[in-house]
């Protein structure tokens, strides 16, 4: 079965893509992913914010107690420049050389200059594409939603102007109009949109009275939201669509493809079952296709997307009402 496909103009042997995770922290991890059967690898993100926080903390600790006592005007040797960004780039370069599949770099910038500079460096290091992880959580009540949207577009435009490789934008689901946001990014030149990034919600532990950082792996039910939006956006964008979230088994991969995704990304499943699981997913997909009589992905992709020209909102509302009715029928309390 031919599972090959194109994503942002890049040829992939199959549509299962390893999304950004700790698996790419080491070259060995990258190698295993590559051997495990994925179609492409998205590296973990370079977090400029972290680099800056690291530099800031370093500077702060260096200053503690300095210039106070005549015998010890400092406590550390003059620090050598930080190589943390360089470390990422070196790993990326070696990953590109090692992996037999395309390697996409992921960038989470923090400053206007940082986005473009790091993107250029990633391109130079051989990244097949760059995924912008614009992870902006507008927690403050004073932050204007429109401004958040503009920032996404501005960052994309700057990076596009800076590099020649394709650029994807990973979106959060928290926009008033996800579709419009995707369209604006599309118009601004995005080569792909990835739906969606996960916001690690913290959890409250009532026993210890503590807030526990949310680092749980995703579960299949989480695929519903991205799947819905993939279905709605399919056919409306020039940009490719990457689907991300809640992939556990073959059926989840298939569902995303049916909804219209160009590629299906997974982290949790690979973390749970190991990198080789990507191969199983691809094989399962091939089996399903042959069972269902498809012989190319194009025949599958978007089969269950919202039909073009239809009133998508009506379609969705109808689905929603159905869903609610079913829920009310099935979930009754003990009273």
Residues that bind another protein (CB under 8 A): 52-56, 58-84, 87, 110-111
CB 156 within 8 A of CB 167: yes
142 or 333, CB closer to another protein? Answer: 142
* The residue to which tokens 């059967």 are assigned: 37
DSSP classification of residue 13: S
Q: Closest distance between another protein and the C-beta of residue 82, in Å?
A: 4
56 or 295, CB closer to another protein? Answer: 56
> What is the four-CA torsion angle of 121, 126, 131, 132, rounded to 10 degrees?
0
* The residue to which tokens 């992905």 are assigned: 297
Rounded Cα–Cα distance for residues 334 and 292 (Å):
42
CA distances from 250 to 65, 157, 269, 283 (A): 58, 36, 11, 9
CB 102 within 8 A of CB 43: no
Mapped onto helix, strand or coil, the DSSP state of residue 170 is strand
Cα torsion 221, 223, 225, 227: sign: negative
DSSP classification of residue 144: -
Q: Closest distance between another protein and the C-beta of residue 30, in Å?
A: 16
80 or 139, CB closer to another protein? Answer: 80
Q: Closest distance between another protein and the C-beta of residue 111, in Å?
A: 5
Mapped onto helix, strand or coil, the DSSP state of residue 132 is strand
Q: Closest distance between another protein and the C-beta of residue 21, in Å?
A: 19
64 or 327, CB closer to another protein? Answer: 64
Pick the closest to residue 278 from 250, 241, 257 (CA basis): 250
Q: Closest distance between another protein and the C-beta of residue 270, in Å?
A: 24
Q: Closest distance between another protein and the C-beta of residue 67, in Å?
A: 4
Q: Which two tokens stand for residue 207?
A: 């026993």
Q: Which two tokens stand for residue 70?
A: 């005549």
69 or 335, CB closer to another protein? Answer: 69
CA distances from 88 to 3, 82, 163 (A): 31, 12, 18
Q: Which two tokens stand for residue 248?
A: 């556990």
110 or 136, CB closer to another protein? Answer: 110
208 or 310, CB closer to another protein? Answer: 208
64 or 204, CB closer to another protein? Answer: 64
Q: Closest distance between another protein and the C-beta of residue 48, in Å?
A: 9
Q: Closest distance between another protein and the C-beta of residue 114, in Å?
A: 8
Q: Bridge partners of 18?
A: 41, 266
């Amino acid at each position: 079965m031919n599972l090959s496909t194109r994503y942002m103009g890049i040829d992939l042997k199959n549509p299962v893509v390893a999304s950004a995770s700790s698996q790419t922290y080491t070259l060995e991890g990258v190698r295993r992913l590559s051997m495990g059967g994925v179609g492409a690898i998205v590296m973990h993100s370079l977090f400029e914010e972290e680099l800056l926080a690291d530099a800031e903390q370093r500077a702060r600790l260096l200053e503690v107690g300095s210039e106070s006592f005549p015998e010890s005007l400092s406590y550390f040797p003059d620090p050598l420049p930080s190589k943390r960004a360089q470390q990422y780039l070196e790993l990326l370069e070696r990953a590109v050389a090692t992996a037999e599949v395309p390697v996409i770099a992921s960038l989470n910038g923090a400053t206007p200059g940082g986005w473009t500079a790091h993107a250029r460096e990633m391109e130079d290091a051989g990244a097949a594409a760059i995924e912008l992880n614009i992870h902006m959580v507008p927690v403050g009540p004073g932050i204007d939603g429109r401004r958040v949207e503009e920032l996404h577009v501005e960052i994309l435009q700057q990076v596009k102007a800076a590099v020649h490789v394709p650029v994807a934008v990973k979106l959060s689901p928290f926009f008033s109009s996800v579709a419009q946001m995707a369209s604006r990014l599309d118009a601004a030149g995005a080569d792909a949109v990835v739906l969606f990034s996960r916001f690690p919600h913290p959890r409250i532990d009532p026993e210890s009275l503590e807030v526990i950082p949310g680092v749980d792996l995703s579960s299949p039910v989480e695929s519903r939201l991205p799947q819905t939006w993939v279905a709605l956006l399919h056919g409306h964008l020039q940009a490719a669509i990457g689907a991300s979230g809640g992939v556990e088994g073959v059926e989840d991969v298939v569902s995303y493809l049916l909804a219209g995704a160009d590629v299906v990304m997974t982290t949790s499943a690979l973390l749970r079952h190991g990198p080789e699981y990507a191969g199983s997913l691809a094989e399962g997909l091939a089996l399903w296709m042959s069972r269902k009589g498809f012989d190319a992905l194009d025949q599958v992709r978007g089969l269950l997307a919202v039909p073009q020209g239809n009133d998508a909102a009506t379609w969705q509302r109808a689905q929603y009402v159905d869903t609610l009715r079913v829920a009310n029928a099935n979930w009754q309390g003990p009273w």
